[in-house]
């Protein structure tokens, strides 16, 4: 089954990220955890779910590969591709 991703604003503390997350988690107010750099981080809140096109898992994987080439400083200021689990 193909998973579609929706662009959302997620926040934790004073940090916010624009991230593509699976549609089933893209619910305003939902608390989620993400896996970044091999580590789990809990406590992210979905603040906004943006309308617009969704993307596929393949597109998310390709974006993640492309963004890794820019290094951490640019990745954290721009779009973050997050691995999200219940």
| pTM reported for the whole predicted model | 0.70
Of 19, 69, 76, residue with least CA distance to 46: 19
Annotated domain spans of the chain: 4-85
Of 43, 45, 48, 53, residue with least CA distance to 6: 53
Q: Mean pLDDT for each 10-residue chunk of the chain (86 residues)?
A: 87 86 93 83 93 84 70 43 48
pLDDT (0 to 100) of residue 13: 86
Instruction: Report residue 29 as tokens.
Output: 């107010």
pLDDT (0 to 100) of residue 63: 77
Cβ burial 67-85 (10 Å sphere, 16+ → b, else e): beeeeeeebeeeebbbebe
pLDDT (0 to 100) of residue 36: 74
Residues 60/81, Cβ–Cβ less than 8 Å: yes
């Amino acid at each position: 089954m193909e998973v579609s991703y929706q662009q959302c604003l997620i926040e934790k503390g004073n940090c916010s990220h624009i991230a593509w997350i699976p549609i089933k988690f893209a619910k305003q107010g939902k608390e989620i955890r993400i896996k970044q750099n091999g580590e789990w981080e809990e406590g992210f809140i979905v603040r906004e779910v943006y309308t617009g096109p969704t993307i596929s898992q393949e597109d998310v994987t390709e974006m993640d590969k492309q963004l890794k080439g820019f290094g951490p400083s640019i990745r954290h200021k721009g779009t973050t591709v997050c691995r999200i689990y219940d």
